[in-house]
Amino acid sequence: MFTIIFSLFSSIRQGFRTRAALHAEILALRHQLLVLQRSSCGHRLRLARADRLLWVWLSRFWSGWQSALAIIKTETVIAWHRQGFRLYWRWKSRHPEGRPSVSCEIIDLIRKMRLANPRWGAPRIHGGLLKLGFELSQVTAAKYMVRHRRPPSQTWRTFLQNHLKDLVAADFFVVPTVFFDLLFVFVILPHGRRRVVHFGVTPYPTAEWAARQLLEAFP
């Protein structure tokens, strides 16, 4: 029973969709005929703003609008839609509403507080401004704080080159034997000369054994 009712509703809905698509196709074809009749005297189509709005509307609410399009290209309708979208957002953002601008007096006060108290951070400066009666956010206080210049730090490559003699590489890997046993090998190589400093082999590695290998490599 439920299957029969569901099939009935699906058929009715499909019928409404087919009828709406048929009316949309008739509207699109009639509109194109009117445009051709209007432009019969000249060699170029004369499309008004209402014509562009109609096709933009059809492209938004009718999935088969491209099949009825004959006098213009599909890319042209898509370009009209994008142009309308840009005009809409340009109109909507003509009066931007954001944070109120900060006066120069408050900016100078924030910088003076920072210079007079180098260890104060943004939360403390913000609290001081609130006590003085200035309503602003902590982000604004942090934005206009005086930044102390830090000495330039060396790059990671420069650090590695300067400490190349003091760096070593360690590897712990497994080697199978002829009798299908497993031996655990611990190797240490310095980065400066790329030669083996120390290695150890054991069938049963433990934490104490690994620590003893490090002590033997660097006595």
Pull the structure tokens for residue 148: 């102390």
Q: What residue segments make up the domains of the chain, in order of their start?
A: 2-91, 104-143, 159-217
- Give pLDDT, residue 3: 47
| pTM of the complete model beyond 0.85 | no
Closest by Cα among 78, 59, 79 to 68: 59
Q: Using one digit for the tens of pLDDT, what is the confidence trace for 113-168? A: 888 888 888 889 888 888 888 888 888 888 888 776 666 777 888 888 888 888 88
- Give pLDDT, residue 208: 92
- Give pLDDT, residue 185: 92
Pull the structure tokens for residue 72: 């213009």
Query: CA dist 186 to 118, 169, 191, 192, 193, Å?
Result: 51, 11, 16, 19, 18
